[in-house]
Amino acid sequence: MKTNSTKTDPLDTRPEKLYCAYRLKGVAASRGIAISKAFVLQGDSVKIDPVLVPCDDVETEVAKFRHAVDRAKGELRSLQSKVAHRIGQESAKIFDVHQLLLEDNAIIDETIGDIRKDKKSADYAFYDIMQKYQNTLDETSVEFFQSRISDIRDVKRRVIKHIQGDRTDYLNKLEGSAVIIASDLTPSDTVKLDRHKVTGFATDLGGRTSHVAIMARSMQVPAVVGLRRISKLIKEGDRIILDGNEGVILIEPDEATIRYYRELQERYYDTERKLSAFRDLPSITLDGKPIELSANLEFSDEAAAAKTHGAKGVGLFRTEYMYLANDELPTEDEQAAEYQKITKEISPDPVIIRTLDVGGDKEPKSFSIAPEENPFLGWRAIRICLERQDIFETQLKAILRASANSDVKILLPMISCLDELHDCMKIIDKTKAALSKAKVAFNEQIEVGVMIEVPAAAVLADKIAEYADFLSIGTNDLVQYLLAVDRGNERIAYLYRHLHPAVLRTIKGIISAGHKAGVWVGMCGEMASDPLSTLILIGMDLDEFSVTPMSVPEIKKIIRSTDYREAARIATKAQEFETASEVERFMVKIMRQKFKDIIF
């Protein structure tokens, strides 16, 4: 395929024609350019390496197989009861056949026999046996037997998944690095990837604030999401160019195109290096207004990167990864160690730890959430913590322990009414009392902030601010709930805009309500990392920006080049527009004039 170019920029070395097999346009989710081979994470299909194992490993393979069968049976039982509960006993009976297949001694014995006799790996042996049964049924046209084929296929996949670990474990065995291609990547998939091997993400689904996009930014790898069909078009090992600045993917580009993108890549990283000059400078406007600039962290080991990028403190530490990756709930000691890892790096600057925010699209491995019709409106975040107080109290104890010698603050997600806030405060007091009784050190005056990310909380921000020490605006959810636009749905991504006049008006209202009640107001949603929004937010008097580490230098540069009074005028003007497009056009024009080297 050819894409025409029009040369206007003298720096543009783009060849007259760019050649590649396919060019796809999606949502630019994380900046940077990757030129790499593709690794396709298949949904449910199984992949078998027909390997033989050394004699010494044979019994380990047998044990692996037995364990996988047990886990598959357990999984089926819980699936069956969920289906019985939601759809009815009759539908749940389909799983009886699956259970029977797993109890069939012929299948089990034959597999173990092949592992011992032929030295096949567990997945290879089981795959072959199941394939044999499947082939026999394939030859019949009787409908009853035909429907049994899908049962066999399902059981085959389920057991092999348990033998191999999940699909991300398979990736971790890969040598070299690759761009990960998938229909979708759940947060649980993403946290398990070996981050040193991932050069980028490209997914069919997702929008700019879907969790895969946020994770990519925090891992500092480029990403394009919402590509709709990339997982179908691409083959494993295909060479691709992923342009996270423009939201474009080129599959199998020619050499001239690759050369061109290598130049772009160098120019991009050169700009990044130049921005790092801002690292040690204070975050203060031209006319002397200090503005807190801190970082959002997904993992404790990002704390050093936050500091190297010039952040003063952590404005949001998302603690979910500890619950997403492991089968067991994290213990109080394990959590305290993670929190202390961050405070050790960041102190004396503050570290704001958000309490557990699973549910929605974040499905924990360590406890189960029953399927729901509307997970983003369902059992999520603080709603889970108020019901599972055991989980909540363990986390609070660990956070409080980390506050003993450092400036640690608590942040409560998804508060939608004052009752929830009061209940949380009671639990925090109870936890403090338990620690005092056990003579464990913590900061008695620890500050507790509330995320404003549900429209009801935005409307009640003045009341909430009376009981909170600070407010932090979570625009990722606030925008989705306020505009009724699913943050992860690429089809309606064009409607998801944080410069929508209703969003701007709501944000202004939250900041004013917080200030009236005497508390500071920050923003930890992705809008804070968007350079197009910075002047408006400064002008609206936002006290703190908490951004992805890689955005810190850029946002700092904008803050340091801005006169607060000018920003206030721009914010007032921006709020007069009627549509998001008008606000965006207005801001692009101003920013292009002021900042030639920043990408908008």
Q: Minimum distance between the CB of residue 79 and ligand PEP, rounded to whole angstroms? A: 28
**SS3 assignment for 536-568:** HHHHCCCCEEEECHHHHHHHHHHHHCCCHHHHH
Minimum separation from the CB atom of position 143 to ligand PEP (A):
47
Q: Smallest gap, in angstroms, from Cβ of residue 381 to ligand PEP?
A: 8
Q: 166, 144 in Cβ contact below 8 A?
A: no
Nearer to ligand PEP, 391 or 412 (CB): 412
Query: Which residue from 216, 382, 450, 524 is in contact with ligand PEP, where contact means CB under 6 A?
Result: 524
Determine if 318 is a binding residue for ligand PEP (CB under 6 A).
Answer: yes
211-230 residues in contact with ligand PEP (CB under 6 A) are 214
CB of 575 to ligand PEP, least distance (A): 21
Q: Are 58 and 119 in contact (CB under 8 A)?
A: yes
The span of 130-138, 452-460, 526-534, 537-545 binding Mg ion (CB under 5 A) equals: 452-460
Rounded CA gap, 362 and 380, in Å? 9
The one among 61, 151, 302, 477 contacting Mg ion by CB under 5 A: 477
Q: Answer yes or no whether residue 530 interacts with ligand PEP by CB under 6 A.
A: no
Helix, strand, coil % over all residues of the chain, rounded to 5: 50, 15, 35
* Catalytic position from the list 20, 385, 424, 524: 524
Binder of residue 449, out of Mg ion, ligand PEP, none (CB less than 5 to 8 A by kind): none
- Residues that bind Mg ion (rule: CB under 5 A) add up to a total of 3
CB-nearer residue toward ligand PEP: 253 or 359: 359
CB of 416 to Mg ion, least distance (A): 12
Q: Which amino acid is at 32?
A: G
Q: How far apart are CA 570 and CA 589, in angstroms?
A: 12
What's the rounded Cα separation, in Å, for the pair 164 and 123? 7
Report how far residue 595's alpha carbon sits from residue 600's, in angstroms, rounded to the nearest whole number: 10
Per CB under 6 A, 476 contacts ligand PEP: yes
The question of whether 309 is a catalytic residue gets the answer no
In the three-class reduction of DSSP (H, G, I as helix; E, B as strand; rest coil), residue 577 is classed as: coil
Q: How far is the CB of 427 from Mg ion (least distance, A)?
A: 20
* 474 near Mg ion, rule: CB under 5 A: yes
**Closer by beta carbon to ligand PEP, 14 or else 318:** 318
For 475, the token pair is: 């625009």
Least distance between ligand PEP and beta carbon 356 (Å):
11
Q: Using CB under 5 A, which of the segments 200-208, 285-293, 468-476, 543-551 binds Mg ion? A: 468-476
Among 474, 514, 539, 549, binds ligand PEP (CB under 6 A): 474
Q: Between residues 431 and 476, which has the closer beta carbon with respect to ligand PEP?
A: 476
Which residues partner with 519 through β-bridges?
Answer: none
Instruction: In angstroms, give the least distance from the CB of 477 to ligand PEP.
Output: 3
Q: Which of 521, 490, 518 is nearest to 506 (CA)?
A: 521
Number of Cβ atoms within 10 Å of the Cβ of 289: 17
Cα(116)–Cα(122) distance, integer angstroms = 10
How many chain residues touch ligand PEP (CB under 6 A)? 11
Q: Which is nearer to Mg ion, 61 or 530 (CB)?
A: 530
> Is 522 a binder of ligand PEP (CB under 6 A)?
no
Helix boundaries (H) for 403-529: 418-437, 455-459, 461-467, 475-483, 501-516
The CA distance from 500 to 466, in Å, is: 28
Q: Give the footprint of ligand PEP on residues 340-359 (CB under 6 A).
A: 357
Residue 359 within binding range of Mg ion, rule CB under 5 A: no
| Annotated catalytic residue 211 | yes
Q: How far apart are CA 283 and CA 562, in angstroms?
A: 11
State how far the Cα of 352 lies from the Cα of 413, in Å rounded to an integer.
12
Name the binder of 524 from ligand PEP, Mg ion, none, CB < 5-8 A by kind. ligand PEP
The H-assigned helical ranges of 119-229 are 122-138, 143-164, 167-172, 187-192, 211-219
Q: Which tokens sit at 373?
A: 């019709």
Which stretch, 15-23, 284-292, 301-309, 474-482, contacts ligand PEP (CB under 6 A)?
A: 474-482
Q: Which CB atom, from 477 or from 543, has the smaller least distance to Mg ion?
A: 477
Of the candidate spans 228-236, 251-259, 470-478, 547-555, the one that interacts with ligand PEP by CB under 6 A turns out to be 470-478
User: C-beta of 487: minimal distance to Mg ion in Å?
Assistant: 9
Asked if residue 525 binds ligand PEP (CB under 6 A), the reply is yes
Q: Measured from the CB atom, is 318 or 409 closer to ligand PEP?
A: 318
Residue written as token pair 């189960």: 368
Question: Would you state the structure tokens that stand for residue 152, as one six-digit string?
Answer: 């066999």
Tell me the residue nearest to Mg ion as measured from the CB. Answer: 477
Alpha carbon distances (Å) from 80 to 89, 160, 453? 9, 20, 35
Residue reference for tokens 């997945």: 123
Using CA atoms, how far apart are residues 89 and 82, in angstroms rounded to an integer? 10
Instruction: Return the one option of ligand PEP, Mg ion, none that residue 525 interacts with (CB less than 5 to 8 A, by type).
Output: ligand PEP
Q: Quick count: other Cβ atoms within 10 Å of Cβ 217? A: 26
Catalytic residue selected from 98, 162, 211, 309: 211
CA gap 516, 514 in Å, rounded:
5
Q: Which residues belong to the active site?
A: 211, 524
Rule CB under 5 A: which residues touch Mg ion? 453, 474, 477
Rule CB under 6 A: which residues touch ligand PEP? 214, 316, 318, 357, 453, 474-477, 524-525
